[in-house]
Structure 1
Amino acid sequence: MRNLTTKLAPTLLAAAAVVASAMVPCATAHAQSTVKIVFQAPLRVLDPVFTNAYITRNHAYLVYETLFALDAAGKPQPAMVESWKESPDKLSVTLTLRKGLKFHDGTPVTGEDVVASLKRWSDRDAVGQRMMAATAKIESPDAATVVIQLKQPFGLLFEALAKPNLPAPFIMPKRIAATPVSQAITEVVGSGPYRFVAANFQPGVKASYVKFADYLPRAEPSSAFAGGKLAIADRIELVNIPDSQTAINALRNGEVDFVEDVPPDLMPQLEGAKNVALKPYGKSTNMFTMKMNWLQPPFNNVKVRRAALAALNQTDYLDAQIGDAKLYQLCGAVLSCASPYASEEGATQTKKPDMARAKALLKESGYDGAKVVILHPTDLATLGALASVTAQALKEIGMNVEIQSMDWATLLSRYSKKDPVAQGGWSIFQTGFASLDLMSPLTNPNLDGRGETGYVGWAKSEETEKLRGQFAEESDVAKKKQIAIAIQKLNYEQVLFVPLGSYSKFKAYNPAKLEGMTEALVPLFWSGKK
C-alpha cells in the first residue's frame, strides 16, 4: 500500500500524432522567490523507483521528468520526447529526444540514459514488467534516439511511459540508473525544473530545491503532468511539520506557504484567513478500501466474502471518517471515480445494505463462527474510524469479530503475515489510496489476482489476470473500456477488494506566492504561464 502518514487523506491512451516541441527560454512565474512547503510525511527515501511512498513521489516531480506525461484528460503527451514514429505493425517505436535537454549535473540527456532508466524502472514496476515482457529490446542507436522493438502488440506503451504514480519511469543518468533496484539511490540528479540541493538535505527534517537554470520547458501550456513547466519559485524549502494543527498555524502566520493535506476538521480555521487559499485537488481524489484475506478462514470462502460485501454501506464509513458530506462521494468504481474507465457495475455498498440478504448468504456459506480479525491503526486518525464501522456491520449479520489495535508501523509489519489469525495473521485490512494509483487495472494493486505472490490479501483470480493482460495489449479505447467493465464485474463477483467511498483531498497555500500552480491530483510546483 501507499504511505499514508497524515492523510485525511493519507492522500488512456489515445494514439497521438507526432508533435514537435519548440524550446523556450527558462522563466519563472515569480522572480527571486522562496516558497516554504509542508508535505504529508517526512522525506527520507529519495529514490522514486525503490519506494512508492507519496512523499517521495512529490519530491520526484520537482526533480525528474518522464518521456511522456499525462495531461488533464488523462492522455499521454510528449514530455522529454520531441517526436516519435511507429511502424505500420506497431511493433517498432522510434523516439527522438528533445534537443538541449540537460541533467542537473550539466551532462546532456542521451538515449543510453533513457534505456538504463527504463530497465531499472521495469525491474520494480508491475506495468514496466508487462511492457518488458512484450519487448524484444530497447536500444539507443545514437544520443538522441531510442528504439523500442516489441515482440507482440502492447497497447499501453505510451501510457506506461507516462505512468504518473510510483514507481514511475523517471529518467536519470545512466551511471545512477545502473544502481541495483534492490538498493535505493542516494544521489538525486534529474532534468526537471528544480535541482535538489544535496548539502541541505536532512532526512525526515528538511530538503531544498532551486530552479534549474538550464531547464527547457515545452512550449505548450501546462496540463496536469504534461506541457510547459515554468518553475513557480526560485527556491523551495521543504520542512517537516508532523502535526496538522501546527502546520495550519504556521500557514496562517506566514511561516510556511503551502500545506499539502488539510484535514476536514481543521478547514473551518482557514475560512476567511488572510493570505490563505483552500482548494481541493479535484473530485474523488482519494478512496478508502478494504482487503479481505483470501488465504485464511473465513474469507477464503467466496460466499463469506459476498455476505460481508452485502452488509457494507459506504455512507456509514464516510460519515464516520470524513463527516462532511460536501467532502465525500459515494463511488463503487474499482478504478475510482476519477478514472476514465469508471463504472458502478456490480457495486452494492453505495446503497442501503440488505442485511437480510447478507445473513442468508452467510448461512449459505456454512460459516462456523471463525474469528474475524480487523487491523486497526491507533496513531493514524485519518483511518481510525473504519475498523469500528466494519466490525458493527459484520457483527450484525452474525460474525465473530475482534478489532486488534496497534500503531501504524506495527500494522504495516503485521499485514504482510500470511499466518492464521491465531498465529498473528489477520482477516481484514483497510486503508486509503490516491485515485491516481487506482485509475488503471494495471496500476491498481487491489486488482492483483496472482495469489500468494501478489498484493496483500493474496486474491487469486486467473480470470482477472487474463483480463488485465488483455487490457495491456489493447489499444482501442472503447474496447479497453469494455475490458475494464468486465474487471469491475468480476471484482464484485469474487470480491477481490471493496471500495469504501471517495473523498476530496484539500491543499492550503499562500495565493500571493503560489497562485497559478498547475492543477493535478498531486502538488506540482510549476505553472504554464509566463
Structure 2
Amino acid sequence: MNHRSLFRRLLLAAAAALPFALSVGDAAAQAALPSDRVLRVVPHADLRTLDPVAVSVTITRMHGLMIYETLFAWDSQLRPQPQMVESTTTSSDGLTWRFTLREGLRFHDGQPVTTRDVIASLRRWMARDVVGNHLGARVTALEATDARSFEMRLSRPHGFVTYALGSAVGQIPAIMRAEDAETDPSRPITTTIGSGPFRFNRDLWLSGQRVVYDRNPDYVPRREPADGLAGGRVVRVDRVEWQIMPDAATAAAALQTGEIDIWEQPALDLVPVLSRRRDIQVDRLNTISTQAMLRPNSLFPPFNDPRARLALAYATDQAEAMAGGWGDERWWRRCEAYFVCGAPFGTEAGAEGYARPNLDRARELLREAGYNGERIVFITSTDIAPIGRMAEVAAASLRRIGMNIDLQVNDWGTVITRQPRRDPPDQGGWNLFVTFASGPTMQHPLTNIGTNMACDGRNWSGWPCDEEAERLRNAVLDAPEGPERIRLLDALHRRLAETQPYRVLGQVDQPYARRSSVRGMLNAPVMVFWNIEKSAR
C-alpha cells in the first residue's frame, strides 16, 4: 500500500477511533481535569500482572516504575544514581555496604518507608530476579541499623552492587511494604501500594481498555534534574491514562486527531505517514537497540539437549525473521551478539557460522538429539504484531527441518502467564516462544536475563542449565575492566553460541510517536511519564 492510500485509510479510521477513545474514559472524572493535565498513552500491551517482582515483562515493569521506587536508578547512560538512598558507605574490603534512606519517603497509604520494608523487598527480589539472584548469592546478611539505615554484608566483593540495586530490567527491585514483600515470592501480589510519584487508580482500571494513574500529591522528588530513570521524578500532569488499542490503524488515527498524546510503539508501516505531520514527532526512546529472540524451553525434550537448541540457530534466517516482524530494513539489522551489537559487550565471537541458515546441519542435530517428530508447542500472540509475525516466520523455518510445530495464538496476557509455567508442553506448558527485550536489558552480562544458565532453576522462563557458561559469566563480572575481561567475554560468548540459551533473531530500533504538544520525554530503558509537560490543545 502506498503512503497516499494509507493516509486515506487512516483518515477513515479516525472516525472509528473517536467513539472508542471517548468510551474508554470515565466521563465525569475526565471532565473535572483540563485536557493539558491528562496524558493519554497507547502502550504496547495491556497490563495483566500488577507485581513487577513476579514477572519480567515490559508492561509490568512500566507499571512498577509508575508506583514504586528503587534504592538506586539508572541515568540515561545506564549509570546507577541514588534514588531512595540518601548516602552510601563501603568498607575498604568491599564486603560491607551501609545505606541510609532519604527523609520523607512514604507509601501511598501514608505509612513511612522503613528499612524493614526495604529488607523484605530486597529478599523477595533476590529470590525472583536474575540480577537479584546473582547479588543475593553473595549476601550473607541484611540487617537494619535503625528505621532509615541498613547494612548489607557480602561473602566476596561484587563490582555491580549499586548497578544491581537500581536495575530497570527483568524483575525490578521495587521497594514494597513489608506486609506485601513478606508474602510467598512465587505468588504475584495484587496490591498496588508503593511510594512512587503516581498512584494506581484501581476504580478506573478496566482490563483490556484502560489503566489509570494519578499524580501522588504527597511524593517528594529528589532535587537533581531528571536523567533517565534517575534524578527528580517531577510529575507535571494530574493523570496518566493508558488506553489499550490493539489495532494499529485505530491508534494512528487517534494520535492524528489528538485523542491520544503518545503511541509507545507505532507500527513501522505507519511511521512514514506520522512523520510527515507537523503536529506529530517520531523519535527513538533510547540509543541501544532492542533484541529479538526465539526462546526454547530447556526443561523438556527436545530442547533439553543443546544440539536441538543449536538446530534453531542453523534453521532460522535473521533477515527473514526481522523483515517479517519489522518490515523496512531501516529499522532492523542482523546481529549474532547476545549482548547487543554496538553496545560495550557486543562481541559476536563463536556465532559466525549462524549468519546464514544450514538446514542440513539443523536436521542432523535434531536427529542426534533424538527428535522424532513429536509435537512442539509454540506459543505466541498477535496483540504485539511483530511478535506474532516473527513467530509465524520462525515456525515456517522449523517446519522446513521436519519439526512438528503447533503454533498456538493467544492474547499476550495469556502468553506471559504461560511462560513461567514448568508443566510439560502437553499439559499446558510450552516448547518455544518469540519475544524481544530492550537493549539496556540485554547489553550487559549481569542483566541479560536470557544468558543466565545457572542450574538452580531460578533463571528466566526456559531455564537453560550450563555450569561452564555460568562460570564464565561470573568470571566476566568479577574481572576488572581491561584485556582480561575482554578475553573472558569472548570465551563466554563462544560458550553461549554453542549452548544456545536462546536464538538471537536480530535487533531493531523501535520508535515512539507523540503529539508536538508533549515535551519532556526521557531517554530511559522503558518509557516513563514523569517530567512530561503537555500544552493545552
Other structure's SS at 2:246 match: coil
In the alignment, structure 1 residue 223 sits paired with structure 2 residue 227: yes
Provide the residue aligned with 1:518 in structure 2. 522
Kindly indicate whether the alpha-carbon contact (under 8 Å) linking 1:284 and 1:503 is maintained by their aligned counterparts in 2.
no
Classify 1:299/1:203 alpha carbon distance in 2 versus 1 (closer, same or farther; 3 Å). Answer: closer
Which range moved further: 468-477 or 226-235? 468-477
Provide the residue aligned with 2:188 in structure 1. 184
Shift of 1:278: 1.6
Provide the residue aligned with 2:101 in structure 1. 97
Classify 1:221/1:425 alpha carbon distance in 2 versus 1 (closer, same or farther; 3 Å). Answer: closer
Which range moved further: 255-264 or 228-237? 228-237
Segments of 5+ residues of structure 1 without an aligned counterpart are: 1-29
The structure richer in helix per residue is 2
Kindly indicate whether the alpha-carbon contact (under 8 Å) linking 1:341 and 1:485 is maintained by their aligned counterparts in 2.
no
Q: Whole-Å Cα distance in 1 between the matches of residues 35 and 479 of structure 2?
A: 46
Shift of 1:492: 0.9
Counterpart residue identity of residue 200, structure 1: L
Other structure's SS at 2:173 match: coil
Q: Whole-Å Cα distance in 1 between the matches of residues 103 and 462 of structure 2?
A: 47
Match among 375, 379, 383 for residue 382 of structure 2? 379
Provide the residue aligned with 1:75 in structure 2. 79
Kindly indicate whether the alpha-carbon contact (under 8 Å) linking 1:77 and 1:226 is maintained by their aligned counterparts in 2.
yes
Provide the residue aligned with 2:37 in structure 1. 33
Other structure's SS at 2:125 match: helix
Provide the residue aligned with 2:198 in structure 1. 194
Provide the residue aligned with 2:474 in structure 1. 469
Counterpart residue identity of residue 234, structure 1: D
Counterpart residue identity of residue 525, structure 1: F
Kindly indicate whether the alpha-carbon contact (under 8 Å) linking 1:315 and 1:350 is maintained by their aligned counterparts in 2.
no
Kindly indicate whether the alpha-carbon contact (under 8 Å) linking 1:309 and 1:349 is maintained by their aligned counterparts in 2.
no
Classify 1:268/1:360 alpha carbon distance in 2 versus 1 (closer, same or farther; 3 Å). Answer: closer
Match among 316, 323, 327 for residue 319 of structure 1? 323
State the Cα deviation string for residues 213-249 of structure 1 (Å, max 9, x = none).
3333333332211122222323222222232222221
Q: Give the length in aligned residue pairs.
A: 496
Shift of 1:377: 3.5
Q: Whole-Å Cα distance in 2 between the matches of residues 119 and 411 of structure 1?
A: 27
Shift of 1:258: 1.4
Classify 1:494/1:524 alpha carbon distance in 2 versus 1 (closer, same or farther; 3 Å). Answer: same
Other structure's SS at 1:171 match: coil
In the alignment, structure 1 residue 400 sits paired with structure 2 residue 402: yes
Classify 1:271/1:100 alpha carbon distance in 2 versus 1 (closer, same or farther; 3 Å). Answer: same
In the alignment, structure 1 residue 120 sits paired with structure 2 residue 153: no
State the Cα deviation string for residues 420-468 of structure 1 (Å, max 9, x = none).
88x9987654332233432333433322324693545443311012223
Shift of 1:153: 2.1
Matches within 5 A, 1:218-257: 218-257=222-261
Other structure's SS at 1:139 match: strand
Counterpart residue identity of residue 247, structure 1: A
State the Cα deviation string for residues 364-398 of structure 1 (Å, max 9, x = none).
959786567472646353223334544565566xx
State the Cα deviation string for residues 296-317 of structure 1 (Å, max 9, x = none).
6655554555455345432222
State the Cα deviation string for residues 66-115 of structure 1 (Å, max 9, x = none).
11111222221111112211001111111122233333333333222222
Kindly indicate whether the alpha-carbon contact (under 8 Å) linking 1:312 and 1:349 is maintained by their aligned counterparts in 2.
no
Shift of 1:168: 0.9
In the alignment, structure 1 residue 157 sits paired with structure 2 residue 164: no
Provide the residue aligned with 1:65 in structure 2. 69
Kindly indicate whether the alpha-carbon contact (under 8 Å) linking 1:372 and 1:428 is maintained by their aligned counterparts in 2.
no
Match among 486, 489, 493 for residue 488 of structure 1? 493
TM-score normalised by structure 2 residue count: 0.81
Which range moved further: 332-341 or 518-527? 332-341
Provide the residue aligned with 1:4 in structure 2. none
Which range moved further: 101-110 or 48-57? 101-110
Q: Whole-Å Cα distance in 1 between the matches of residues 162 and 79 of structure 2?
A: 9
TM-score normalised by structure 1 residue count: 0.82
Kindly indicate whether the alpha-carbon contact (under 8 Å) linking 1:306 and 1:493 is maintained by their aligned counterparts in 2.
yes
